[in-house]
């Protein structure tokens, strides 16, 4: 709306020069301040996080990254359990969510009868609007026991030879439950971005493929997926970022076990975001800078993830000659 206004003001400049210029200055000022404010805020947060973690950085150094355990009584904290938990839960959620999300997006753009598309799209996007504390509660009360009583034993008895599917968790909480909860949380992000991408595929291309006698699936594989590949990768990385940063829901279902790493997905674990959410209000002494250290790791990680997303999008765009995207 505002861009529209400015262009029309610019066009009208010969007739009412001074007023239009004032408007331009105002716009420039307001928009510029907003942009500068956002950048300054990020800088301020980064500074505060680094400043807060200074004591932990000097005490533990890089050994913090590999130490297993979190012991404020004996002042020995480490991030290994949390990094492991974050990596496993977010990658696991991505592995489960991506095919589901692509399926939803394809259904909503290509396969579903037209009248069903709008309501289903709205419902899928509503999933993203559920507060994470509500998903967490549902996870601990409903999902956890169902996974414990039905899904985990089934996985253990059929795939038990893989160390990932060991003895089921007696509580229903654990890394596996966190993965399922995160899958539900990132599903709407990945699927709605993919849907937009699929809608953007030129219909001439799709029709040309169908006219050549391809089946729908061949058209999807040969036209839609290659065309949207970069976008899908970016959507996945955005989902990954969301999964890594999610704190409240994860803290409720992951089982908060900080004293060891296990390959059994049904065991408890923890993530940096969940630990910070759980501990920060009650921490004292060296634990506070240690939590800041965890936050610093999260911050660096999300910067890396975002940069990666942009690089991938740009590279694919260049390959496809779509400089504008």
Partner 1 sequence: MPRNGKLVRITLALAAAGLVAALAVTSAGAAGKRSAGTLNGAGSSLVAPAVAKWGSMYSADTVNYSPIGSGGGISQISARSVDFGASDAPLTKSQGDDCHGCVQIPWALTATIPVYNIPGVGDRQLKLTGTVLANLYLGNITNWNDPAIKALNKGLNLPDKKIVPVHRSDGSGDTYAFTNYLSKVNKSWKSKVGCATTVSWPTGPGGSKNPGVAALVSSTPGAIGYVSDFYAIQNHIAKAQMKNAAGSYVLPKISSIEAAAQLVKGAKIPANNKISITNPPKSKKYKNAWPMSTFTYVIVPTSSPKAAQIKAFIKFVLSGRAQKAIQPYVFAPMPSSVIKAANKTLASIH
Q: What is the C-alpha to C-alpha distance for residues 198 and 225, in angstroms, rounded to an integer?
A: 8
Tell me the number of residues near partner 1 by CB under 8 A: 39
Under the binding rule (CB under 8 A), the answer on residue 125 touching partner 1 is: no
Taking the C-alpha atoms of residue 235 and residue 186, their distance in angstroms, rounded to an integer, is 10
Residues linked to residue 77 through DSSP beta bridges, in sequence order = 70
Q: How far, in Å, CA of 157 to CA of 165, rounded?
A: 9
**Segment interacting with partner 1, rule: CB under 8 A, options 55-63, 185-193, 248-256, 297-305:** 248-256
Residue 17 as a binder of partner 1 (CB under 8 A): the answer is no
Interface with partner 1 (CB under 8 A), residue from 271, 287, 293, 298: 287
What are the angstrom distances between the C-alpha of 271 and each of 75, 170, 238, 250? 19, 20, 18, 8
Tokens representing 31 are 């928009």
- Identify the residue among 59, 132, 171, 262 touching partner 1 (CB under 8 A): 171
Q: Tokens 């004591």, residue?
A: 55
| Minimum separation from the CB atom of position 195 to partner 1 (A) | 33
52 token code pair: 């807060």
Sheet strands (E) in the chain: 70-71, 76-77
Least distance in angstroms from the C-beta of 275 to partner 1: 9
Considering the complex, state which of residue 70 and residue 84 has its C-beta at the smaller distance from partner 1.
70
Between the alpha carbon of residue 37 and those of residues 29, 34, 186, 196, the distances in Å are 12, 5, 29, 30
User: Which residues, 139 to 168, sit near partner 1 by CB under 8 A?
Assistant: 140-141, 144-145
- 71 backbone dihedrals φ, ψ, rounded to 5°: -125, 90
Widest distance between CA atoms in the chain = 80
Q: Measured from the CB of residue 148, what is the shortest distance to partner 1 in angstroms?
A: 8
* CB 84 within 8 Å of CB 261: yes
- Candidate ranges 7-15, 42-50, 179-187, 195-203; the one touching partner 1 (CB under 8 A): 7-15
Indicate whether 71 belongs to the interface with partner 1 (CB under 8 A). yes
Residue 270 CB, shortest distance to partner 1, in Å, is 8
Closest CB 311 distance from partner 1, rounded Å = 37
| HSE-up (13 A, CA, CB side) for residue 98 | 17
Residue from 211, 282, 321, 324 in contact with partner 1 (CB under 8 A): 282
Judged by CB, which is closer to partner 1: 4, or 115? 4
The answer to whether the beta carbons of residues 106 and 220 sit under 8 Å apart is yes
23 binds partner 1 (CB under 8 A): yes
Q: Tell me: does residue 169 bind partner 1 (CB under 8 A).
A: yes
Single out the residue of 232, 210, 234 nearest to residue 223, CA to CA.
210
Helix axes 287-320 and 225-245, enclosed angle (nearest 10): 170
Q: Tally Cβ neighbours within 10 Å of residue 27.
A: 15
Among 90, 256, 264, 271, interactor with partner 1 by CB under 8 A? 256
Indicate whether 251 belongs to the interface with partner 1 (CB under 8 A): yes
Looking at 34, 62, 73, 211, which residue binds partner 1 (CB under 8 A)?
Answer: 73
Q: Does 281 bind partner 1 (CB under 8 A)?
A: yes
Interface with partner 1 (CB under 8 A), residue from 112, 283, 313, 317: 283
Query: Which positions lie near partner 1, rule CB under 8 A?
Result: 5, 8-9, 12, 16, 23, 69-74, 140-141, 144-145, 169-174, 251-252, 255-259, 268, 278-285, 287
């Amino acid at each position: 709306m505002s861009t529209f206004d400015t262009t029309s003001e610019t066009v009208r400049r010969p007739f009412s020069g001074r007023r239009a210029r004032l408007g331009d200055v105002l716009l420039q000022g307001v928009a510029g301040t907003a942009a500068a404010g956002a950048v300054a805020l990020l800088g301020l947060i980064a500074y505060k996080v680094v400043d807060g973690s200074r004591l932990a950085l000097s005490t533990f150094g890089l050994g913090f990254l590999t130490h297993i355990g979190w012991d404020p009584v004996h002042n020995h904290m480490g991030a290994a359990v949390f990094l492991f938990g974050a990596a496993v839960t977010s990658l696991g959620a991505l592995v489960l969510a991506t095919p589901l999300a692509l399926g939803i997006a394809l259904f909503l753009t290509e396969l579903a009868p037209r009248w069903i598309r709008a309501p289903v799209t709205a419902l899928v996007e509503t999933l993203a609007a559920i507060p994470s504390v509500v998903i967490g509660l549902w996870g601990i009360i409903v999902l956890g026991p169902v996974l414990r009583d039905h899904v985990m034993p089934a996985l253990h008895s059929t795939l038990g030879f893989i160390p990932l599917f060991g003895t089921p968790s007696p509580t229903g909480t654990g890394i596996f439950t966190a993965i399922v909860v995160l899958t539900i949380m990132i599903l709407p992000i990945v699927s709605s971005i993919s849907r937009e991408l699929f809608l953007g595929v030129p219909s001439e291309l799709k029709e040309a493929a169908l006219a050549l006698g391809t089946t729908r699936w061949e058209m999807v594989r040969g036209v839609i997926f290659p065309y949207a590949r970069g976008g899908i990768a970016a959507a996945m990385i955005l989902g990954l970022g969301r999964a890594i940063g999610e704190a409240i829901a994860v803290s409720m279902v992951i089982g908060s076990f900080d004293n060891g790493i296990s390959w059994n997905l049904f065991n408890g674990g923890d993530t940096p975001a969940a630990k910070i959410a759980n501990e920060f209000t009650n921490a004292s002494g060296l634990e506070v800078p240690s939590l800041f250290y965890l936050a610093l790791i999260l911050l660096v990680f999300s910067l890396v993830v975002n940069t990666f997303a942009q690089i991938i999008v740009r590279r694919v765009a260049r390959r496809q000659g779509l400089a504008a995207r």
